Structure 1
Amino acid sequence: MRNHIRTTALAATALLAALSLTACGSNDEANDSKAGAAAPAANATTPDTDKDAKDTKDAKETGSGTAQAPVQNASTTSTTSKGSTGGSKSGKSSAGSTGSGRKSPVTCTGSNTKVTVTKVSRPINHLLLTATNTGSAPCYAYHAPALGFDDAQAAFPVLRDSIPQAVVTLEPGQSAYASIGLSGEPDGQELHKSEHVTVYFTGKANQGSTGAPAKLKLPSGTSWGDNGFVTYWQSEMDDALMY
């Protein structure tokens, strides 16, 4: 009886040990199974994460860079276009500054000037010629006007002492002046009455007249003598009337 109980106890003990080993094995397998399941999940996540990071980097380097390039190029083109416009305007201020629209000077004649003759109180027996530039270009009033009273054959004498320091240049609207001494010394000379005087302009070479002359009506009662004179063109009225 005791042996049977002992044998049964031993058998039970052996069974418990076997069950314990089986349980341990099952736990180990379960743990291995969980670890195995966790490992593939971790391995699966890592490639996807790396791929996503690589795709994001590629997108920045390719997709985003391509999207920004047109914007940058468009901005550059706009700036260049404005610069070109500014250059064009600047080109126009440069062309205006070099050309400035000023025409080359020409010779003053009856065609581009308005000539008048007036009687002055001082000095006595003097008339004043005024030639005003009516053209669009500057003109040179060379030397002295050549005068012809009515049908006189000889040219009226020119006063050499009145030569100016420089040729008189008239901008459009400006005037030149010359005085006419109707009679000079000595007194008692023969006087000639005239109603008209023709004013001729001379060129740079001072050889005869050039261009159209100006025919003027003289102030009433004008008389002149053979020893009268006309001055050179002056830029100031007072300079003309001082002789």
Structure 2
Amino acid sequence: MRTFHAAPLAPSARTARPHARRRLAGAVMASLVALSLTACQDGKGFKDGGEASASGSAGVATAGPATAAPSTAPSTDASSAPGAAPAPKTSPAPSAASGAGERVLCNGSTTRVTVQPVSRPLNHMLITVKNTGSKTCDLTYHPVLRFDEMQWVPAARPETKPQAVVSLAPGESGYAGVLLSAADGSGEGATTGHRLMIAFQGRTPLSDGGASATPDLPAAGVVYDSSLTVTYWQRSSADALAS
């Protein structure tokens, strides 16, 4: 699959106003989408480097247990002496269940993603992500959108950044709002999108969050222009569509 490099839309000859929103995304955001195109072929998403292993510290040697010389002396264990009370039997301490309390990332493999154009606010679309897994998942930062063969990355509106990461218990949903086009007609290059890919971010900004999602769009497609922006993930649909 070809990798597309983000290139901001050229402003109209009649308009000298810079597109501040598009520059906000930057080339790094574009690389996230380009990588997700490659990753979506096998449904596994990107590979995260993860944390460094503590066992990799240099200069630390782990010594094995010393081997004691065999002893021919009789055992002096008090429990084996005649008339001694038998030693109580003990069970090993229970270990924590593997994965207990573990939090995972919300992505295309742990959720069901749907999109729906709304009548109010005007020219908006709502993204809904429902946790279909058995563990709490985190929706980090904001969705990264790509319609069809779009070669630029829609920016996220910074004023919509929540104070805390949106976490979804199994069965819960999170939301993001999409401004498709400016109501005042200031956007340029109106285009109808027929396919949408949504990439998820990891624990650090712009890192890989796993499998992407390709939710169904209306049969007629979705019209967007250079005003296309997205909110950060929100706890409620009202918050996602508030701005």
Structure 1 and Structure 2 fold alike (TM over 0.5)? yes
- State the Cα deviation string for residues 7-43 of structure 1 (Å, max 9, x = none): xxxxxxxxxxxxxxxxxxxxxxxxxxxxxxxxxxxxx
Aligned to 2:82: none
Between Structure 1 and Structure 2, how many residues are aligned? 154
Amino acid across the alignment from 1:136: S
Runs of 4+ in 1 over 4 A off after TM superposition: none
Question: Which gives a bigger RCO, structure 1 or 2 (Cα 8 Å, sep 6+)?
Answer: 2
- State the Cα deviation string for residues 30-66 of structure 1 (Å, max 9, x = none): xxxxxxxxxxxxxxxxxxxxxxxxxxxxxxxxxxxxx
Counterpart Cα distance in 2 of 1:186 and 1:196:
26
Aligned to 1:160: 158
The alpha-carbon deviation at position 128 of structure 1 amounts to: 0.5
Aligned to 1:115: 113
CA contact (8 A) 2:122 2:183 kept: no
Give the match's secondary structure for 1:217: coil
Aligned to 2:102: 104
Counterpart Cα distance in 2 of 1:124 and 1:186:
10
Aligned to 2:232: 232
The alpha-carbon deviation at position 114 of structure 1 amounts to: 0.5
Distance change in 2, residues 1:190/1:235 (3 Å): same
- State the Cα deviation string for residues 144-184 of structure 1 (Å, max 9, x = none): 00000011011112111100111000011111000111012
Counterpart Cα distance in 1 of 2:179 and 2:147:
13
CA contact (8 A) 1:109 1:213 kept: yes
Aligned to 2:131: 133
Give the match's secondary structure for 1:215: coil
Counterpart Cα distance in 2 of 1:174 and 1:158:
23
Give the match's secondary structure for 1:169: strand
The alpha-carbon deviation at position 102 of structure 1 amounts to: 4.7
CA contact (8 A) 1:125 1:181 kept: yes
The alpha-carbon deviation at position 236 of structure 1 amounts to: 0.9
Structure with the higher helix share, 1 or 2: 1
Counterpart Cα distance in 1 of 2:178 and 2:207:
19
Counterpart Cα distance in 2 of 1:119 and 1:190:
20
Aligned to 1:217: 216
Amino acid across the alignment from 2:217: L
Moved more, 202-211 or 112-121: 202-211
CA contact (8 A) 1:200 1:210 kept: yes
Amino acid across the alignment from 2:234: Q
Distance change in 2, residues 1:185/1:218 (3 Å): same
- State the Cα deviation string for residues 179-198 of structure 1 (Å, max 9, x = none): 11101265152211111110
Structure 1 residue ranges without an equivalent (≥5): 1-87, 89-94
Aligned to 2:167: 169
CA contact (8 A) 2:203 2:209 kept: no
Report 1:1-243 matches (<5 A): 102-184=100-182, 186-188=184-186, 189-219=188-218, 220-243=220-243
Counterpart Cα distance in 2 of 1:168 and 1:198:
21
Distance change in 2, residues 1:197/1:232 (3 Å): same
Give the match's secondary structure for 1:199: strand
Query: What is the aligned-residue identity percentage?
Result: 39
Larger-gyration structure (1/2): 1
